[in-house]
Amino acid sequence: MIKDFLPVSRSDMEKRGWEQCDFVYITGDAYVDHSSFGHAIISRVLESFGYKVGIIPQPDWKDKDSITLLGKPRLGFLVTAGNMDSMVNHYTVNKKRRHTDAYSPGGKMGMRPDYATIVYCNLIKQTYKDVPIIIGGIESSLRRLAHYDYWSDKVKHSILIDSGADLLLYGMGEKSVVEVADALDSGMDVSDITYVKGTVYKAKSLDHIYDDYIELPSYDEIAADKKKYAESFYTQYINTDAFSARILVEKVKEKMYVVQNPPAMPLTQMEMDDVYSLPYMRDYHPVYKKMGGIPALSEIKFSLTSNRGCFGGCNFCALTFHQGRILQTRSHESLIREAERMTKDPEFKKKGILYTNTVLSFFIGACYGAVAVNAFAVRAAYLGFVPLATGWILVVKHSMVLEAERPQEIAKEAETELEDAQRLEIEQK
């Protein structure tokens, strides 16, 4: 396995000795090979299973040739709008156009279209009519069945219908994408891949479904009746558990159904560790350097993903609907190994320590302010910033010392702190 960014051009493919990609991944984000970016995880997971994946980041949707840069893929196109829903990325809650896009070079706005997944799929269909299209990411996941579209103030069909894609992967996708890839590689037609958990597909009848399923209100019923819409969403919401969820069926029109399989099984701790140990470059592609880099990376470059999923079910949050109700965690050893790798990054001592201390102090300040609001009311906001200021002072005061420390010493200190925390947890129990 070559330790490098995945191909974004023909010349990159030639360096690897590839004549053809197995999958071409089209994303609305700039190409950042970091585990906080969905396209990086999925592409690296596929690579670990022996598949050749090329990336076309932010193709020009006004030019159909822009999706031909890597040629025709052997197995299919993977399409995502990016780490954010493209409409949330573009507009404020007041439907005002945003001025910057943190996921584009230099924060430039306008590098992806509205409803990016739909536009990209239609672009592919114009050139490669016979190549399977698999969509995923947050935009597709949250629009997998009929849904209310805030921006147009209408109830829309499943994005699977509007995009013309063949298959939709919802949720986190590591398991389902490999299973789909293996099926396509074995010679199966994409229309026959109806059994994979964590997928949504179109069907002309329900005769092939042997398990019990729940038929949701039809699209016409949902569009006409708000109560029916609420009933449908509630049924979807209580079927987000991989162990108890049932197949959901939504009638779109006469002899056309959208079928949602139960969610993919959650990753075990070992599987989580494997995903985050893949050879990410942990940086944006060098082509963006002269463009000002990718702002979104600066926020998370020296962060650690420790868990997924949430059992909270808050009304204002879509996390449960996307990641599921079951918490999935990484081992302490995996987190420490990644932290050690971070310390070897040339930028770590310049930005990482400052960032870590600042965020930590702000977090403490925010928590303090939230508690203090009941007792101090107006003074709470002021009091909440005291730890923040303290954190900044500590950073400035000790910056020379931190710069002088070796990465091994920093990693050792982190390990000691973790052991102390574990010991305290045991004592409290």
Q: How confident is the model at residue 420 (pLDDT cuts 50, 70, 90)?
A: low
pLDDT, tens digit, 9 for 90 and up, residues 195-214: 999 999 999 999 999 889 99
What is the rounded CA–CA span in Å between residue 280 and residue 34?
6
Domains of the chain: 10-260 (3.40.50.280), 345-429 (no CATH)
Average pLDDT score over residue span 81-101: 95
pTM of the model: 0.81
Res. 317 pLDDT band, cuts 50 70 90: confident
- Each residue of 286-300: pLDDT tens digit? 999 999 999 999 889
Q: What is the pLDDT of residue 215?
A: 96
Strands (E), 115-170: 133-136, 147-149, 154-156, 167-169
Instruction: Report the chain's mean pLDDT, rounded to a whole number.
Output: 86
**344-358: average pLDDT:** 67
For residue 27, the SS3 value is: strand
* Model confidence band, residue 223 (pLDDT cutoffs 50, 70, 90): very high
298-308 pLDDT tens trace: 889 988 999 99
Question: For residue 138, is pLDDT > 80?
Answer: yes
pLDDT band at 429 (very low <50, low <70, confident <90, very high): low
Beta strands 199-203 and 256-260: pairing type?
Answer: antiparallel
